[in-house]
Amino acid sequence: MGREVSIGGLREFIRRSLDGSVMRELDFDVKLSRQLKLLTSEYSICFKPEEIVCDDATADSIWQAALRLLENVGIYNTDTNRVVLLGTEEVKAAAARTPKEFVVGEGKDAVTIRAWDHGSKVPPVILAQPARSFRHKGGVQAFVANMMDAYISDAGPLGELARQLRSELDGIPYMAETPGEMVWGRAVVRWKRAIAELLGKPGLYLGSAEMTSPPAILALYTEEGLLNRFNSHISVSLIPELKLNWNCLRLTYAAQAMGVYRSCSADPVVGGYCRNSGEAAVVAVATLLGSMVYAGDEKTVQLSTVDREGNRTARAPLQASSAARRSIERNLGIPMDGIQRISKNGLGTSLSLYELAALTLAQSGSGWAWSWRGYPCGPGPDGEYNVDLDWKFVTRISRGASGLSRKKTNELIVKLLQLYESQGADEGKPFAYYYDIKTLTPSGELVALYDRVEEELQRLGVPMG
């Protein structure tokens, strides 16, 4: 594909990673923690328990605090132990070059994603994936093996592919940072592409590579029929909290050279260096803005927050991610990707659907323009899975919630939180209990659960589209 690489911001990150102030990582963490406490106090950033989607003034204060954080604390390169400080004007200039709309997918499967304005009645674009989540307890290897086992004796194209993959993968374990990661990663993409073609959607957007190392990610772009600039993006995100290494910058350069969109994401932890949801919101915005400086012009934005238990649907993470989204929405006006759910309740439980409904409402009121990732419940006997009923569930709620007032959105989320936040975890049952593995047809029991919860949500006042 060979394209010229625009390395203005990237060059500065490389230079400052080599010339910036030397600092121990622990000292950087302490400075970050202290500055967060000072800035959130100075800008009066805090939330009431019933306020999940924040007001305009708070969103704007988070924006200003994030800019100050990058100027005062900067970003830490863990490979060189140096600090990259970023001036407010260069951050604003880089952020302003983020596209207000872009196209994902190709051919008849291409979709235009546009920025969302608060109060808009236009629902988010939801792009379901051609394969279920493989956040399986056994990892990528177990996921692919399960798929092959389901189709290995089939006479159709998936059976043929399953037998071919079984032969190619035999004896090669999936291990990060080894050639095995590359081999298994290509198997995952080939499987997704095969399903998309059988569905009559060969140009469907597939999102990001699920691999971790740069060689494994880039290997997915080396031949036709795998990932390309139209059906994917490459994550060039910072490491929590406000850190990066050379891998981030190497992937950025490679993605620009291939013309592949870069994905800037933030995922701070509430309860770590971020003591509360206000601090996490500031770090989330600062993380996105910092990565925008080196990512170049063709970039997308993803934002989430998580607590120390790995939960994204508890009150504090919902507040933090919603506030950060509102801050980006008001001050940049760019399309933001929805987040995947990692709930404490498993597949086939009403509690997991309450969590999913709360997350959907919080995103719908906070600048959610599109989503391509699944909404897996977890932890469950098998790990996390997303199912087709989840996509339908999210779509109906997001359509109904479009244009809903902030006050009403908060009222509904609080009602949902009261249903699940004080409950113990229900791990549910294995995926195979509810779905025919080969046809992926849901059981009557699972369909009845979704219907029953939808009726309950409507009684609570949650609109369905």
Residue 211 DSSP SS3: coil
pLDDT at 7: 57
Instruction: For residue range 220-229, list pLDDT tens digits in order.
Output: 999 888 999 9
Give this prediction's pTM.
Answer: 0.93
DSSP-derived secondary structure letter, 245: -
The whole-angstrom separation of Cα 131 and Cα 422 is: 33
How are beta strands 232-235 and 261-266 bridged, if at all?
Answer: parallel
User: Which residue has tokens 């086939």?
Assistant: 348
List the domain boundaries for the chain: 1-105+241-336
User: How many Å apart are CA 265 and CA 284, to the nearest integer?
Assistant: 8
For the chain, what is the radius of gyration of the CA atoms?
A: 22
Tokens of 235: 């994550």
Phi, psi of 105, rounded to the nearest 5 degrees: 80, 175
Q: What pLDDT was estimated at residue 132? A: 58
**Cβ–Cβ under 8 Å, residues 365 and 336:** no
Three-point CA angle 49, 55, 59, nearest 5°: 105
Question: Which pLDDT value is given to residue 1?
Answer: 42
Q: What is the pLDDT along the chain (465 residues), one digit of tens a residue?
A: 446 555 568 999 999 999 999 999 999 999 999 999 999 999 999 999 999 999 999 999 999 999 999 999 999 999 999 999 999 999 999 999 999 999 999 999 999 999 887 667 888 998 877 765 555 556 677 777 877 888 889 899 999 999 999 999 988 998 888 999 999 889 989 998 998 999 899 999 998 877 888 999 999 999 888 999 999 999 999 999 999 999 999 999 999 999 999 999 999 999 999 999 999 999 999 999 999 999 998 899 989 899 998 888 999 999 999 999 999 999 999 999 886 666 788 889 999 999 999 999 999 999 889 988 765 556 566 666 667 888 889 999 999 998 899 999 999 999 999 999 999 888 888 888 888 877 778 999 999 999 999 999 999 999 999
Strands (E) in 212-310, as ranges, are: 232-235, 243-244, 261-266, 269-270, 299-303, 306-307
Question: 248-251: long-range contacts at Cβ-Cβ below 8 A with a sequence spacing of 24 or more?
Answer: 248/291, 248/294, 249/10, 249/13, 249/14, 249/17, 249/294, 250/214, 251/214, 251/217
Q: Which CATH superfamily is domain 1-105+241-336 in?
A: Monomethylamine methyltransferase MtmB (3.20.20.460)
How far apart, in whole angstroms, are the C-alpha atoms of residue 339 and residue 383?
Answer: 18
**DSSP helix/strand/coil, 371:** strand
